[in-house]
Chain A
Amino acid sequence: GAGVSQSPRYKVAKRGQDVALRCDPISGHVSLFWYQQALGQGPEFLTYFQNEAQLDKSGLPSDRFFAERPEGSVSTLKIQRTQQEDSAVYLCASSAGTSGRITYNEQFFGPGTRLTVL
């Protein structure tokens, strides 16, 4: 079946521009996550959704970062007034979440969007 898809795969922005990154999770997955991965580092947690509810946004680095998932499926990560330090790969992941008494921890990652801010 189809995995997690992200668009665009590459984005170049001038400093100060706003960008929007899209994530299409696996159909039916309740949980959706955004991570930021700097070059040579592991992914850093940004935010977590359960359906349309954003339950954890503790990893968002500043108020320039905003994520939404209005209908509980597709999600958008928006970065306002981009800065050079925002250059990174932004990964989206989804998981099946909790079904009854079973919790599915495995996260399925998309290929990421590589953002370069000039």
Chain B
Amino acid sequence: LAKTTQPISMDSYEGQEVNITCSHNNIATNDYITWYQQFPSQGPRFIIQGYKTKVTNEVASLFIPADRKSSTLSLPRVSLSDTAVYYCPTGGYNKLIFGAGTRLAVHP
């Protein structure tokens, strides 16, 4: 299973929409695409999951194109508390393969 690739870091300001794109060229047919958020000194926390097309929940939207080789996490109207590292691991029920993640910094 190949690791995913993402921008190393991103900067944004409070109230803006943030889109983080992840590349997973070698994703397996049965794999889901999930996004996790991690704060310092904490374990990753699940945000959203999808297989294809678009998924939306109360905190984010996930866009997955038909070829599933990439995905985009959309965070509407970010706040300072969204400053964290965001990961897009692939895998299934028995394993997650993480990349290095995207460090998002939200500024006042």
Interface residues, chain A, with chain B CB atoms under 8 Å away: 4, 31, 33, 35, 40-45, 48, 50, 55-56, 91, 93, 95, 97-98, 103-112
Contact = CB atoms under 8 A, between A and B. Distances in A.
Interface stretch (B10-18, B66-74, B76-84, B91-99): B91-99
A44 B93 contact: no
Interface of B: 3, 32, 34, 41-46, 49, 87, 89, 91-101
A98 B93 contact: yes
A45 B1 CA distance: 11
B37 to A, nearest CB: 11
A111 B44 CA distance: 8
A110 B45 CA distance: 9
Contact of B96 (A103, A104, A107): A107
- Per DSSP, are chain A's interface residues mostly helix, strand or loop, or mixed? strand
Contacts of A33: 95-96
Contact of A48 (B32, B34, B95): B95
A93 B34 contact: no
B101 A42 contact: yes
Contacts of B87: 42-43
Contacts of A45: 95-97
Given A56-B95, A95-B93, A106 B34 contact: yes
A106 B95 contact: no
A104 B43 contact: no
B98 A110 contact: no
A4 B43 contact: yes
B42 A111 contact: yes
Contact of A55 (B32, B94, B99, B101): B94
7 closest cross-chain pairs (CB), A and B: A109-B43, A42-B98, A106-B46, A103-B93, A43-B98, A109-B44, A91-B43
A98 B94 CA distance: 10
